[in-house]
Amino acid sequence: MGNQLEKRISRLERYWAEKKKERLVCNCRTETTFHSAPCLAALLNSIPRVCPVHGFRDLGFFCFASVKFPLVKEDNQFCPCPPHPWRSFVLSENRTWEGHEAARMAEYVPDPKFNFAEDKARIEQLLAEYGEARRRRSTIGTANHSAT
């Protein structure tokens, strides 16, 4: 009787250990693309910063993308940039040859008030803040692991 009980407990322990492993899926990235400083700010404020495996979610390499290109599928919803004809066509579900031609030929007029130097400075500031938050979190995570 005692042997049967040990087997059942062992099976239950393995079951819960496997179930716990399944929940720990890393959601870190290798790359995060953005269109401008406001776009990057919106992404950093909206994307969850917690990884179930590592603690702090690493967003990887930050890469500037032209406003004509869409971001990663999960990030498009946070992008505050004005619509671009080509990006709108690529993101649309109803793609036709006529729509392709119209999007390709559409003239996109950039914002005349856009200042590249100011945008670049703001991007650098946002990335520095993200890097600092990342360092703080990884230091806290390392301290917690060494204490156990």
* pLDDT tens for the chain, residues 1 to 148: 567 877 787 787 777 777 666 667 888 999 999 999 999 999 999 988 888 888 888 999 999 999 889 999 889 899 999 888 888 888 888 788 888 888 888 877 777 888 999 999 999 999 999 999 888 876 655 444 444 4
Residue 146 pLDDT: 45
Residue 1 pLDDT: 56
| Calpha distance 132→126 (Å, rounded) | 10
Residue 32 CB coordination number (10 Å)? 19
Residue 96 lies in a domain: no
Residue 77 lies in a domain: yes
Residue 91 lies in a domain: no
Residue 21 pLDDT: 61
Two structure tokens written together for 62: 């930050």
| Calpha distance 63→35 (Å, rounded) | 9
* Residue ranges in 24-82 assigned as alpha helix (H): 37-46
Decide the pairing of beta strands 61-64 and 31-34.
Answer: parallel
Question: Residue 56: in which H helix or E strand, if any?
Answer: strand 55-56
Count structural domains, the chain. 1
Q: Which domain holds residue 75?
A: 2-81+115-147
Residue 122 pLDDT: 96
